[in-house]
Amino acid sequence: MVWAAALDDVRRELKDFYPDVVGITSVTPSIYRAYQVAKIAKEVREDCKVIVGGPHVTFLPDQTFKECRFIDVIVRGEGEETIRQLAEAPEKGEWEMVKGISFRKGDRIISNESRPFIKNIDEIPFPSWDLLPMDKYQFCGQRYASMLTSRGCPFSCSFCASSRLFGGFWRGRSPENVVEEIRLLHDKFGIRNIEFVDDTFTLDQKRAEKICDEIVRGGLDISWGASSRVDTLSRRLIEKMKKAGCWILFLGIESGCQRILDAVGKRITIEQARKAVKIVKEAGIQVLGSFIIGFLQDTIETINETIRFAKTLNLDYAEFSILTPYPGTLIYEHAKKNDLLLTEDWSKYTGLEPIIKIESLSSSKLKSLLQRAYLTFYLTPKNIYNWLKNRQLTFIKSALQALINYLYNVASRSECIG
């Protein structure tokens, strides 16, 4: 119902604006919704140019065109310069000169050469925040915004497409440029809470320290969160982050089994994870640890090892997900080549559904382990006390519902076995 109402809003806005060009971005699980928007755009104005970008279409341009006939152009990779050139080349005959796009030409799909990555991302203008209803974006009663201060990742974890999407190298905005945008959000739009959505905000620790120093020096009253690897933190940096307003850090820990971490190319150790959580917590910053279950090498024993490990780390929050082989990842390519994909229904690529055949685990068992992970982590006296103390009743409701579902599934399996 909510999505249907949103599509009605899209149709109404398109009729009012009647654009020459409609741009859509999408990740894998939302790609079918992007197709629906593209269809509406063509129904409203048949001759408008529909352009789609994002990681999913970057890695699967041909398949995207086959799945949706309403898309005219796919922008692969970074889009800022590509979109500008597309706007300057409105005629289809000129598209072959635009790097970084794929498009239809008769019955053929043409993929032009890739566009070089933007080396100095300080040159990219700030987002047009003034075009958004900034008062509607709120978190815990405060106005909220997200910012990207760097692009890319030099690591090559087999379950992540980021390093391949951005060329396998990292590019950071200068501290001055980052703080200039923070000040704009703070002074003009009253933003007090920011999420830095970089893959690894702390990859260049000296740069991260300078950003923190500039926030403090500028007297910017903000709270913020970011993501990090456990091997890119130091006590000095964490203390500066706390002083600059950091209240939560997202750590990609992934597994509690060293053998699994090594197999998927994570390049961290169990001990590094323990140390990282310890120093972040000691600084008074909350920690959300992220874990993945259902790697090809996983067994019931290794998954239980991960669940136990998560519970020993003194985390504030834990996020568990089932391995999802997103297009562009090494795992997707391996699964596709070896006929291991259970489905290519992209709407199921949410991290909550089994997508890959695992020799030692059934899909039902994997989903059961995911439920168990959440239940055993969150349904503890400590967490329930904190939820009650902070009046976070939605957490209690969600946890109880998960418990009911888990017990129902256990009972159903027992009945079948009996």
DSSP 30-62: GHHHHHHHHHHHHHH-TTSEEEEESHHHHH-HH
- Token code pair at residue 213: 């120093």
Query: Is there a single domain that holds both residue 227 and residue 341?
Result: yes
Helices 235-243, 270-282: axis angle to 10 degrees equals: 40
Asked which of 78, 111, 144 is the last residue of a domain, the reply is 111
The number of C-alpha atoms within 13 Å of 278 and in the hemisphere containing its C-beta is 8
**117 within some domain:** no
**Which tens digit of pLDDT belongs to each residue from 347-373?**
999 999 999 999 889 999 999 999 999
pLDDT of residue 402: 55
pLDDT of residue 390: 66
Q: ∠ at Cα 385 (380, 390), nearest 5°?
A: 130
pLDDT of residue 413: 41
Residues in contact with 248: Cβ distance below 8 Å, sequence separation at least 6, in sequence order: 225, 285, 286, 287, 288, 316
Q: ∠ at Cα 215 (199, 129), nearest 5°?
A: 65
Task: Report the percent of the chain where pLDDT is more than 70.
Answer: 91
**What three-state secondary structure class fits 180?**
helix
CATH at 263: 3.20.20.70
The pTM of this model reads 0.90
Residues in contact with 137: Cβ distance below 8 Å, sequence separation at least 6, in sequence order: 143, 144, 145
pLDDT of residue 415: 37
**Which tens digit of pLDDT belongs to each residue from 288-299?**
999 999 999 999
Query: Is there a single domain that holds both residue 98 and residue 165?
Result: no
Measured on CA atoms in the order 84, 89, 95, 97, is the torsion positive or negative?
Answer: negative
β-bridge mates for residue 166, sequence order: none
Query: Is there a single domain that holds both residue 224 and residue 165?
Result: yes
**What three-state secondary structure class fits 278?**
helix
CB neighbour class for 25 (10 Å; exposed up to 12, middle 13-18, buried from 19): middle
Q: How are the residues of the chain apportioned to helix, strand and coil, as percentages rounded to the nearest 5? A: 50, 15, 35
Query: Is there a single domain that holds both residue 216 and residue 229?
Result: yes
Query: Is there a single domain that holds both residue 170 and residue 70?
Result: no
CATH at 12: 3.40.50
Query: Is there a single domain that holds both residue 154 and residue 290?
Result: yes
With a cut of 90, say whether residue 147 has pLDDT above it: yes
**66 within some domain:** yes
Q: How many domains does the chain have?
A: 3
**125 within some domain:** no
Tell me the mean pLDDT in the region 117-127: 95
Query: Is there a single domain that holds both residue 366 and residue 264?
Result: yes
Tokens 């991290």 belong to 351
Residues in contact with 349: Cβ distance below 8 Å, sequence separation at least 6, in sequence order: 28, 29, 324, 325, 326, 355
DSSP state of 96: G
Q: How far is Cα 305 from Cα 322, in angstroms, rounded to an integer?
A: 15
Query: Is there a single domain that holds both residue 102 and residue 142?
Result: no
**233 within some domain:** yes
β-bridge mates for residue 49, sequence order: 21
**Which tens digit of pLDDT belongs to each residue from 50-91?**
999 999 999 999 999 999 999 999 999 999 999 999 888 767
Q: 352 near 292, Cβ under 8 Å?
A: no
With a cut of 70, say whether residue 174 has pLDDT above it: yes
Tell me the mean pLDDT in the region 292-311: 97
DSSP state of 255: -
**200 within some domain:** yes
Under the banding of pLDDT at 50, 70 and 90, the label for residue 2 is: confident
Query: Is there a single domain that holds both residue 246 and residue 327?
Result: yes
Residue in 202, 320, 197 with CA at minimum distance from that of residue 253 = 320
Query: Is there a single domain that holds both residue 93 and residue 143?
Result: no
Query: Is there a single domain that holds both residue 205 and residue 340?
Result: yes
Residue in 284, 293, 292 with CA at minimum distance from that of residue 316 = 284
In this structure, are strands 150-151 and 171-172 parallel, antiparallel, or unpaired?
A: antiparallel
pLDDT of residue 403: 54
Highest average pLDDT, of 160-164, 313-317, 343-347, comes from: 343-347
- Token code pair at residue 281: 């917590």
With a cut of 90, say whether residue 22 has pLDDT above it: yes
Query: Is there a single domain that holds both residue 372 and residue 395?
Result: no
pLDDT of residue 412: 41
Across 65-79, 312-326, 376-390, least confident range: 376-390
**Which tens digit of pLDDT belongs to each residue from 226-248?**
999 999 999 999 999 999 999 99
**71 within some domain:** yes
Q: ∠ at Cα 73 (83, 8), nearest 5°?
A: 95
Q: Tally Cβ neighbours within 10 Å of residue 167.
A: 17
**34 within some domain:** yes
Question: Which domain covers residue 107, as residue numbers?
Answer: 2-111
With a cut of 70, say whether residue 27 has pLDDT above it: yes
β-bridge mates for residue 139, sequence order: 142
With a cut of 60, say whether residue 306 has pLDDT above it: yes
